[in-house]
Structure 1
Amino acid sequence: MQVEVSHHVDASEPDAEGYHDYHYEYDIFTFSEGDTAFLVRAYSDQPTEASFMARHVGEVRHLLTERDLQHPLLQQAASHLRAAGKTELNWLDGRRSEYRPLAYNPLVDRRTAS
């Protein structure tokens, strides 16, 4: 499994007093193996939380489904994130358009941690 992390800041232009209407700072984790990759976003002000956002196969982006939760790469990525202190994992359900908690399975984490 390859892991890439990139840091991002999404902010409005500052007003005359230097304040922003919005300011988001986050990391994007890309977990890949072969032509499959899972994208995860983790906001800087929520250090224990991360959300699986999408699956890429080649250049094609796919919304996540419950079936993706069983994918070995996603399970390895979840173990990696938990080991890094991200204990509150969510996933963006493409069918429901909502974030849902990613269930913790210690047997899977024990099997995929290496």
Structure 2
Amino acid sequence: MSNAAKMISPSASGTTQEQLVHHVLTLANPANAVSLEVHTTEPGLQLYTGNYLSNVVGKKGVISDKFCGVCLETQRFPDCVNSEAELGCNGFLRPGEVFQSETIFRFFRKMSTSLK
């Protein structure tokens, strides 16, 4: 996928508006060559890393410890309602307006190029 792809969305006035889907993040695990790319029309990304997990019992009794997972949330900037001009995004949704965004999570594995 290129750095920016177009998404066409309807606006409140019935016209269409183009939004660009940008690559915002790549997470990679060199140990198993698995990677995740995130592409979105949103300007912001919230990242949680599970720093404070400690022996949390989850589904089927699986124990979760520090850094066992990650949470990614694409969004508007938290203060965009107060800083719309500086941040370049609108944080308000007025009656009759339609909110639409697109986020793509692309998982892939890089295969070894060696012929061993």
TM tier, smaller: under 0.3
TM-score with structure 2 length normalisation?
0.26
- Which structure has the greater CA radius of gyration? 2
TM-score (norm 1): 0.26
Higher helix share: 1
Higher relative contact order (CA 8 A, sep 6+): 2
